[in-house]
Amino acid sequence: MTRIMAKEMKGTRITANCVAPGPVATELFFEGKTDETIKRMADACPLGRLGETKDISQLVGFLVSDAGEWINGQIMRANGGFVV
């Protein structure tokens, strides 16, 4: 859908991208998970931690700035290298 939107917006200077975050330390993420599950997910990440909201917001900030105008039709995986 991201690529289709990018093509549909041709000529408007509007870009369409998708941010696909990995596990991020938020109330919603922690809800219903045991400490063991959370630790296992953090350990599965090469960076050894869960993401933080700033990790995602900085990427979104870049994409909506003038510096990100050449990024279009992409899925940006902001997951610290986390693989299921």
Counted residue by residue, the chain has a size of: 84
Domain boundaries, the chain: 2-78
- Model pLDDT for residues 40-66, shown as the tens digit of each residue: 999 999 999 999 999 999 999 999 999
Under the banding of pLDDT at 50, 70 and 90, the label for residue 83 is confident
Q: Please report, as a single letter, which amino acid is at residue 40.
A: R
Mean pLDDT score across all residues of the chain: 96
The reported pLDDT for the residue numbered 84 is: 72
Say which residue the tokens 């700035």 belong to.
65
60: CB partners within 8 A, 6+ apart: 19
The two tokens of residue 9 are 């917006």
The number of C-alpha atoms within 13 Å of 77 and in the hemisphere containing its C-beta is 7
Report the CATH architecture of 2-78.
3-Layer(aba) Sandwich (3.40)
